[in-house]
Chains A and B, each alone.
Chain A
């Protein structure tokens, strides 16, 4: 006897399957409770030191603009007066397209090395790859809030500043001996930027800069639904929501404050179907985004590269909060512990701080301002490097200082808190 497929010779019906699936799902949902009974841990690291003070990775003290930290050297810097290594490859480890390749070629030609540029997605994942041995760069970009990982993990080498005279000669005084790296033991500054709001003046009608609380614009952006976005960075999104409520402690580890900020951010789903991305330097000039949380360098880069022909520079606008209320950050460069060319690495850092090199990297390529004494903000506007309506994108050394706002390293508990808060926001669940 032959059977038709519909006769289901092996018995189980679709109904049976659904019933069993439901039973399986019930078992799965109960698995959480069973697993919890086994004992568990989600602690990453100790968040406090021996005397109860909050500490970062490796037990290092947390640096803040009003609390300078001198990081311990885990080895001696190289001796002074050594000759640079030549030949072979010299690897620069950085964000994609964040350093002018022409300048790298010039450096390579000067010292007889082949300069290779290895990109990473972000500093944390870059450090992870470095720690795993997947990459062996000579120098890398690092940020003040990730420097502790680099130092405690022995991933970046102590500097000998004798090789880097341009630091004292050319750089803003606040960054010669910065609060996050006292005595510049491990880093030199690379670029600096503020976090603010970029918008298209031909679409957004509000006078954002004139609003009592300009960050409120995101919560009043119903008219721009689908064209509004925030930076895809947990510190920036949650930090912005804190600042909107007048909370200037952007390094807080108070769960109530962080959770309230996340809750506020989730209101934006319904208001403007908020988007989260890091392409503001392109999307705002091109007009696909009309209102975007942005770094100050983005609009300068956008003006240089992405503003379509026929669109006037006045279509772009940028606002940043006044001193003491605006998050300011600076990127740095450090020498990786994997380098086989430590002397040349020092010379590279010095090269980056050369007035001509740093200025060219800024105006000819990435739009992110180096903290050079020589750059006169007003001259950038008069020379046409920066259009007048984007003058707010330019920083001065006075934007830094003990009363400035800067994202600093958090304790491991704080990092988990902010990361989970951001995950909650990104999950797009009920607001």
Chain B
């Protein structure tokens, strides 16, 4: 009996953590999104009983996000920004993680520390630092003009989409590199040697062995950065503050920032969570398949 419960018992702290810090808060957001508003204080009044839920706010949010709704553009914009940022993070992060895992040798530790180093400073401070660097007369423009890449200063902070995407990439890329590095570092070199022995070119070995085997790391890192990016609002606020570059997170912030409809913010959070759940399901399914595949390759 004791042995029967011993190993499952190790999961208890994790389950408790999940219940207290995810399930309960999420249900609270659901209660708020499907609740009402205090008529005097404009505070959300959550409804806990699902039989009494008020779907009015949720319907309103879905209608606004639908084609022709006032949030359709901002929804599409958010997806595009996140997709572009993720692609750039992968383009930059994969080679860094690959080099660190495979070729850095004794410098591996130092490179990892350098990757983690920016995380010692708060995200907000790092973004504010970039605001200074990207000023018209900031160091970025000065450098680009010195090297003749630009003939005149570029207005990076004038509400440009590229600056927001760049800032998202800068802010989140370390969170992609670390799981990617862990995944690449774990790949058994004998698999590559086997591929090369069988006549594969370096590129072919990478494409057919390394890349598939690092899929769990790619997906893990991608999930780690895309989920917070979808809810990000301070990055566009700090480096742009143009409505033309605002994201869904800015709308959530707007409605939670005081006013008579905090429930709209909660309902939008729920819809965003539902969308992200779809991505998570794909991730979980892919991980499951990749793990089976890794097991299969390992058995070779």
User: Which A residues fall within an 8 A CB radius of B?
Assistant: 2-6, 8-10, 12, 17, 21, 24, 28-29, 31-32, 35-36, 38-42, 44-46, 57-58, 121-128, 131-132, 149, 152-153, 155, 225-227, 229, 232, 234, 269, 273-277, 288, 412, 415-416, 419-420, 422-430
Contacts and interface: CB of A to CB of B under 8 A. Distances in A.
Given A3-B296, A423-B70, A427-B246, A44 B251 contact: no
A24 B280 CA distance: 14
A24 B278 contact: yes
B244 A269 contact: yes
B293 A3 contact: yes
A39 B208 CA distance: 54
A5 B290 contact: yes
B141 interface: no
Contact of B40 (A152, A234, A420): A152
B140 interface: no
B73 interface: yes
A15 to B, nearest CB: 13
Contacts of A149: 40-42
A32 B158 contact: no
Interface stretch (B18-26, B107-115, B170-178, B253-261): B253-261
B41 A17 contact: no
Of the candidates A46, A126, A426, the one having the most CB atoms from chain B within 10 angstroms of its own CB is A426
B196 interface: no
CB-CB nearest 8 A-B residue pairs: A226-B158, A124-B258, A40-B56, A45-B39, A5-B293, A428-B243, A429-B73, A32-B62
Given A42-B57, A412-B39, A426 B246 contact: yes
Given A10-B292, A45-B39, A276 B242 contact: yes
Contacts of B289: 5, 8-10
Given A40-B55, A269-B244, A273-B244, A426 B250 contact: yes
B158 A227 contact: yes
Contact of A415 (B159, B240, B260): B260
B274 to A, nearest CB: 7
B215 interface: yes
A275 B58 CA distance: 29
Q: Which of B58, B155, B241 has the most CB of A within 10 A?
A: B241
A39 B292 CA distance: 46
Given A35-B58, A276-B243, A121 B258 contact: yes
Contacts of B292: 9-10
A9 B288 CA distance: 11
Given A21-B278, A226-B159, A426-B243, A124 B74 contact: no
Contacts of A424: 70
Contacts of A35: 55, 58-59, 62
Nearest to B271: A28
Nearest to A125: B258
Contacts of A277: 237, 241
Contacts of B297: 2, 4-5
B48 interface: no
A94 B165 CA distance: 35
B209 to A, nearest CB: 9
Contacts of B261: 42, 44, 416, 419-420
Interface core residue of B74, B242, B245 (most chain A CB under 10 Å): B242
Nearest to A29: B66
Interface of B: 36-37, 39-43, 54-60, 62-63, 66, 70-74, 77, 135-136, 155, 157-160, 208, 212-213, 215, 237, 240-246, 250-251, 254-255, 257-262, 274-275, 278, 282, 285, 288-290, 292-294, 296-297, 299-300
A415 B259 contact: yes
A128 B41 contact: yes
Given A6-B212, A44-B261, A428 B77 contact: yes
B159 to A, nearest CB: 4
Contacts of A426: 243, 246, 250-251, 254
Contacts of B254: 422-423, 426
Given A4-B208, A149-B40, A273-B244, 16 more contacts: A5-B297, A10-B289, A12-B285, A17-B285, A24-B278, A35-B62, A38-B55, A42-B57, A44-B261, A124-B42, A124-B258, A128-B258, A153-B40, A412-B42, A416-B260, A424-B70
25 contacts: A2-B296, A4-B208, A5-B294, A6-B212, A8-B289, A10-B292, A32-B59, A32-B62, A35-B59, A40-B54, A41-B56, A42-B261, A57-B40, A124-B257, A273-B159, A274-B242, A276-B242, A277-B241, A288-B157, A423-B254, A426-B251, A427-B243, A429-B70, A429-B71, A429-B74
A262 to B, nearest CB: 9
A8 B40 CA distance: 58
Contacts of A31: 62
Nearest to A39: B55
A126 B71 CA distance: 27
A42 B56 CA distance: 5
B258 A427 contact: no
Max chain B Cβ within 10 angstroms of own Cβ: one of A123, A227, A274, A429:
A429
Nearest to B159: A273
B62 A4 contact: no
Nearest to B37: A44
B56 A44 contact: no
Contacts of B40: 45, 57-58, 149, 152-153
A122 B74 contact: no
Nearest to B39: A45
B60 to A, nearest CB: 6
A42 B60 contact: yes
Nearest to B274: A28
A40 to B, nearest CB: 3
A309 to B, nearest CB: 15
Contacts of A415: 42, 259-260
Contact of A419 (B39, B260, B294): B260
Contacts of A32: 59, 62-63, 66
A10 B292 CA distance: 9
Contacts of B136: 288
A123 B42 CA distance: 13
